[in-house]
Amino acid sequence: MKFKILTAVFAIVLFASSCKSDSNSENSGKDSSENNSTNAKTDAFFTISVSSSAEANYKLGEAVTLTLKIKDGHKPDSMQLFVNDKFISNISAEKPEFLWDGTFGKTGSNSFEIEYFETGKKTLESKKIVIYPDTKPEKYTYNVKKVYKHDVNAYTQGLFWHNGFLYEATGLKGESTVRKVKLETGEVLQSFAIPTDVFGEGIVLFDNKIVQISWDSGRGFIYDFTSFKQIDEFSYTGEGWGICTDGEKLFMTDGTPTISILDPTTYSVTDRLEVYDNDGPVKLLNELEYINGEIFANIYQYEKIARIDPKTGKVLAYIDLDGILPMNDWTSNTDVLNGIAYDAATKRLFVTGKKWPKLFEIELVKK
């Protein structure tokens, strides 16, 4: 891989008299001892410039050289570099330079932070840069392999496959349900309604429980997989749209380019991804499915699915599903494409939409 060298200059100007307490330092996961250090923010500046490329944007995979400039008369006891709150390396005062190879880098906003210790006091200096994908997304279209019946009254918000059946969540206040569906006939075998004041959204199976989020009430629900009985509830900030899992953690969308990563035991946010293609952030990420190490995401109001790298947020490919529902199946109630399910055992991919009369098994075809 060809690396472009980006030179970042950290100018850290240290004035002991200007140090202020930073009560939020403990949240970064770095040293926050109150006994031997004071967290401080000085009037120093921190700039990053591109030294060997005419490119306007930083790209994944590019090397970045970090150089510290320390004010005369000061000598640090130690310096540490963190990228996106993760420790990267110690930096020597004798050679205050480090070549960052992209470890822990991701698309969107990336933070570089230096912890500078001198005479028992800690100073933090940081800078954020926006990183774009290093390649354009691949393009796919589709072939329809089979067509199945789908409840035309189902305002599909979530979909997954498990042990021979589809599980579907429907939306709209007063109409939101979670249901078990027989693929071959579209018959609803088991169903229950969620509270009438809640607009149901995505669902996912985790640890023999169904986890569901809601649109604008900030409420999440946990159901026993077999009985569909609610066994717990959790809360979150902002909207909820889609949710999926890699088997270890949960990924949740809120209609923005951000995918929140949740701890599946506490449902608290542990990290976030900013989803970018080569043109910038990708908005309106909706229903999700985790398939073979990638996140598949419906893009609301478009007949398009984004395939996303769950480690970096990079859009790997777009699937164009334009025209998949024939025009003679459209009515005044027909709404947008939404709903992705995957049968890993047989490698079948299913898609449908809100109040669509059909569900499709498709195969992907590279353009």
Q: What are the pLDDT digits (tens) for 146-164?
A: 999 999 999 999 999 999 9
Q: What's the angle, vertex CA 55, arms to CA 54 and CA 58, rounded to 5?
A: 135
What domains are there in the chain, each with its CATH number?
5-132 (2.60.40.10), 138-366 (2.130.10.10)
- The predicted pLDDT at position 54 comes to 32
β strands within 246-344, DSSP E: 250-253, 258-262, 269-274, 276-277, 280-281, 285-291, 294-299, 304-308, 315-320, 337-343
pLDDT in tens, 196-220: 999 999 999 999 999 999 999 999 9
> Which residues are CB-neighbours of 69 under 8 A, at least 6 positions away?
9, 10, 11, 12, 96
Inter-CA distances, 94 with 45, 47, 70, 75, 181, Å: 21, 21, 11, 10, 66
Longest Cα–Cα distance of the chain, Å, equals: 79
Given pLDDT bands bounded at 50, 70 and 90, which one contains residue 93? Answer: confident
Q: Label residue 208 left, alpha or beta by phi (over 0 means left) and psi (-120 to 50 means alpha).
A: left
* 47 pLDDT more than 90: no
Nearest-CA neighbor of 79 among 117, 112, 46?
117
* 38 pLDDT more than 50: no
Highest-confidence range of 34-38, 174-178, 291-295, by mean pLDDT? 291-295
- Arithmetic mean of pLDDT, 79-104: 86
Nearest-CA neighbor of 150 among 362, 366, 290, 359?
359
Tell me what the pLDDT averaged over the chain comes to: 84
**Both structure tokens of 326:** 């024939």
* 241 pLDDT more than 60: yes
Q: Count of residues for the chain?
A: 367
The region of weakest confidence among 105-114, 199-208, 338-347 is 105-114
Q: How far apart are CA 274 and CA 326, in angstroms?
A: 34
* 24 pLDDT more than 50: no
Amino acid present at 14:
L
- The predicted pLDDT at position 28 comes to 35
Q: Which residue has the tokens 């569909």?
A: 228
- Arithmetic mean of pLDDT, 317-344: 96
Nearest-CA neighbor of 258 among 227, 235, 237, 233?
237
- Arithmetic mean of pLDDT, 169-185: 95
- Arithmetic mean of pLDDT, 19-31: 35
> Which residues are CB-neighbours of 162 under 8 A, at least 6 positions away?
205
- The predicted pLDDT at position 55 comes to 52
> Which residues are CB-neighbours of 227 under 8 A, at least 6 positions away?
none
Cα–chain center distance at 330: 32
